[in-house]
Amino acid sequence: MQRIRLRYTKRGRLRFTSHRDFQRAFERALRRSEVPMAYSAGFTPHPKVSYANAAPTGTGSEAEFLEIALTEARDPAVLRELLNDSLPDGLDITDAVEARTSGLADRLTASVWELRLDGVTAAEAAEAVAAFDKAETVEVQRRAKNGMRTFDARAAVVDLQALDPQADRPEDRPCAILRLVVRHVTPAVRPDDVLSGLRVVADLAPPVPAAVTRLAQGLFDEESGTVTDPLAPDREAAPAAPPTATGTAVATAPEGAGSA
């Protein structure tokens, strides 16, 4: 059995697909590409696909991850191309590596998000971010299965910045960009929870829903303050490529060879 780990995107209108919709589209792509999938046992066998920390419906993402189990070995790069040919535009496989380490889900401990707030000026966003940063706790509410739940949206936020707007954006159409780094905790703190927190501490209320995109997710590096690539350990564990025939011939050629 071989395990392949994939990084994929949700772009454009496909950000509105639910996780279940993506599962159906991905399993169809597996069948069309004739991927030799391993299946679970039992009365209703299903392909062995492990999804990790999927983004909420309505948010875009450049960094979603899953793992598949195969019954026959395949080249990850070739597999990536086959799947992309069978997936709709917007659901794109951007990376594929053979799983050589354990615990992919354990390496997804933080996310980097970008929030585009149309109708909000950069000054308003910066003032709200400053108020959020100063607060020790920011209590927000979210509807759960058992009713409304109150929790702190501040503790999980590692970094929140208001970025300079694009220089070519028309002045009569203000737009603020927020960059958010948040730890994966329980209960999960989502970008919309942080927006609710900004409303609590600074009365920031964008006139239209924010466009939210996950830019990265992985281990949070405390020293550098960055979110690292969760597939890097699998690449590093890959065996070194064997020497080429030319390289071997040069290495073993007797001294003075070719100097006739």
Q: What is the DSSP string of 163-178?
A: EPPPTTS-TTS-EEEE
The pLDDT of residue 145 is 81
Weakest-pLDDT range from 87-101, 160-174, 227-241: 160-174
The pLDDT of residue 30 is 96
Q: Is 232 contained in some domain?
A: no
Average confidence (pLDDT) over 68-85: 97
Residue 119 sits in the same domain as residue 91: no
Q: Which residues make Cβ contacts (< 8 Å) with residue 107, sequence separation at least 6?
A: 218, 219, 230, 233
The pLDDT of residue 170 is 57
Q: Could you tell me the pTM of the whole model?
A: 0.86
Alpha helices in the chain (DSSP H): 19-32, 76-86, 122-134, 191-202, 232-236, 245-252
The pLDDT of residue 259 is 42
Rounded mean pLDDT of the chain?
89
Weakest-pLDDT range from 31-45, 133-147, 211-225, 245-259: 245-259
Are 35 and 68 a contacting pair, CB within 8 Å? Answer: yes
Residue 133 sits in the same domain as residue 175: yes
Residue 190 sits in the same domain as residue 98: no
Domain containing 177 equals: 108-227
Average confidence (pLDDT) over 103-131: 95
User: Structural domain tally of the chain?
Assistant: 2
Q: Is 77 contained in some domain?
A: yes
Residue 93 sits in the same domain as residue 114: no
**Is 82's pLDDT higher than 90?**
yes
**Is 244's pLDDT higher than 70?**
no
Q: Is 69 contained in some domain?
A: yes
Instruction: Select from 37, 72, 106 the last residue of a domain.
Output: 106
Residue with tokens 């006739």: 260
Res. 83 pLDDT band, cuts 50 70 90: very high
The pLDDT of residue 23 is 94
**Is 258's pLDDT higher than 60?**
no
Strand 211-218 with 60-70, pairing: parallel
The pLDDT of residue 169 is 60
Res. 171 pLDDT band, cuts 50 70 90: low
Res. 255 pLDDT band, cuts 50 70 90: very low
Select, from the ranges 2-11, 162-171, 242-251, the one with the highest average predicted confidence (pLDDT).
2-11
**Is 242's pLDDT higher than 90?**
no
Residue 163 sits in the same domain as residue 127: yes
Res. 144 pLDDT band, cuts 50 70 90: confident
Average confidence (pLDDT) over 15-27: 93
Residue 90 sits in the same domain as residue 31: yes
Residue 202 sits in the same domain as residue 93: no
Residue 78 sits in the same domain as residue 63: yes
User: Residue 225's closest CA among 193, 182, 162, 186?
Assistant: 182
The pLDDT of residue 260 is 37
Task: Write out pLDDT tens, residues 27-56.
Answer: 999 999 999 999 998 888 899 999 999 999
Residue 128 sits in the same domain as residue 90: no
Instruction: Select from 80, 106, 132 the last residue of a domain.
Output: 106
Q: Is 257 contained in some domain?
A: no
**Environment class of residue 199 by beta-carbon count within 10 Å: exposed (0-12), middle (13-18) or buried (19+)?**
middle
Instruction: Select from 75, 106, 137 the last residue of a domain.
Output: 106
Residue 16 sits in the same domain as residue 51: yes
More confident residue, 255 or 46: 46
CATH classification at residue 16: 3.30.70.580
